[in-house]
Homo-oligomer: A and B are copies of this chain.
Amino acid sequence: MGVKLGILGLGTVGTGTVQLLQDKTGRHPLLQEIEIYRVGVRSLDKPRAVELPTDVLTTDLEAIVNDPAVDIVVEVMGGLEPARSLILKALSNGKHVVTANKAAIARFGAEIFTTANQAGVYVMLEAAVGGGIPVIQPLKQSLSVNRINTVIGIVNGTTNYILTRMQTEGSNFNDVLADAQRLGYAEADPTADVDGLDAADKIAILASLGFGGRIHLKDIYTEGIRQVSKTDIAYAEKLGFVIKLLAIAKRITSAEENGGTLLRGDAATLSLSPLSVRVHPTLVPKVHPLASINGVYNAILVEGEPIGQVMFFGPGAGAGATASAVTSDILNLVAVLKTNTAVPNPLLACGHQEYCQIAPMAELITRFYARFLTNDQPGVIGKLGTCFGNYGVSLESIVQTGFQGELAEIVVVTHDVREGNFRQALAEIRDFEAIESIPSLLRVL
């Protein structure tokens, strides 16, 4: 037996990985060289879906990352601590690490990759984003010859499942969430998913790889789907959109701000220009490739020069899909260990040290959808239009769509505008006597 694994955690992903590795027929022959040497768990007595020799299971996780016999540490326990400390210890001890832990990587990536580089070992994280979808390796390798302009993902299965059901059933957020919790598609505490935090961790990782710089998680504007109403989903549908929780990272170029497209000559400016990185519910045109990604599926769209648009689609979670990604990382490391080289492969190591500059949301150029409830006074639409015009906000459409009781409902869709300008106009409009409330404000892709 060649390569010895120390697996930290035997939950859903750990169990899926062990099952895959215990059943190697018909898979890559290199898997034959892998031995499940130690598996660290919290309790030895818990009933398990997999059978492992008693000397493999242990509750001493520190001992695994310190054991000189362990070649690769597979961290699938999740959470911030002790995951972070164990990863750092394993790396310092010269072990390669495979992790599915997006939260730890998004927060502690800087110290984790620095430690790995110093020790001359690799941190592999294919499973951290998009479940089984191979997207991390393509971004680090194949796509990295492109100048990446945009990475947009539907990277949280729970919220996509909820939005898909709201769309198809015309249901309310709270009802679908409760049902999703009952069915196991949402957790008892759904915060990380429905408030966009999980998606923010993932876009931090994708942006870092796509744009070759570190990302401060706090710089990412994050808005969840609690405020998305069935009313807005219905209006969006009529206007030719579906509402998706998108995680977006985009290079902001002056050409784009001026409504132009990226010029080849902008290259030097480009690599210095700031990014927009954000998570929010978004109106997506029905013809857009991301519009038809439904249910718990994930998809990541990458736009670059000269490749154009490529999209990766697949199951964003689940024991099998995530185990596939974890095991593919293990396989890659086994190949590295077989070649027995002293020089690190620059495509596997994490090269970037600098932080990306993230533009404030006020600088964002985007389209908006807004819904207003107004007292049905004559001239309200004209007043809205005039105020938007004063702030340079150009409207694509402004429609009185119906009534809610005594109040008239007006829906506005803008052309590309500077978010700051739009917000200033809204602040003024909010004070109009005729305006009762502005229940919805969403960005449009």
- Give the B-binding residues of A (Cβ under 8 A): 16, 19-20, 23, 25-31, 126, 132-134, 137-138, 141-147, 264, 267-268, 270-271, 289, 292, 304-315, 318-321, 323-325, 327-328, 331-332, 335-336, 338-341, 343-348, 351
Contacts and interface: CB of A to CB of B under 8 A. Distances in A.
A340 B339 contact: no
A312 B134 CA distance: 9
B305 A309 contact: no
Given A23-B264, A138-B134, A142-B126, A321 B346 contact: no
Contact of A145 (B318, B324, B336, B343): B324
A314 B308 contact: yes
27 contacts: A25-B271, A26-B147, A27-B144, A27-B146, A28-B144, A28-B145, A132-B308, A133-B310, A134-B310, A137-B137, A137-B142, A141-B328, A141-B331, A143-B324, A144-B328, A145-B331, A292-B292, A305-B320, A306-B320, A306-B321, A306-B323, A307-B321, A309-B314, A311-B312, A311-B314, A335-B347, A336-B345
A351 B32 CA distance: 14
B147 A27 contact: yes
A347 B320 contact: no
A43 to B, nearest CB: 26
Contacts of A142: 126, 134, 137, 324-325, 328
A343 to B, nearest CB: 5
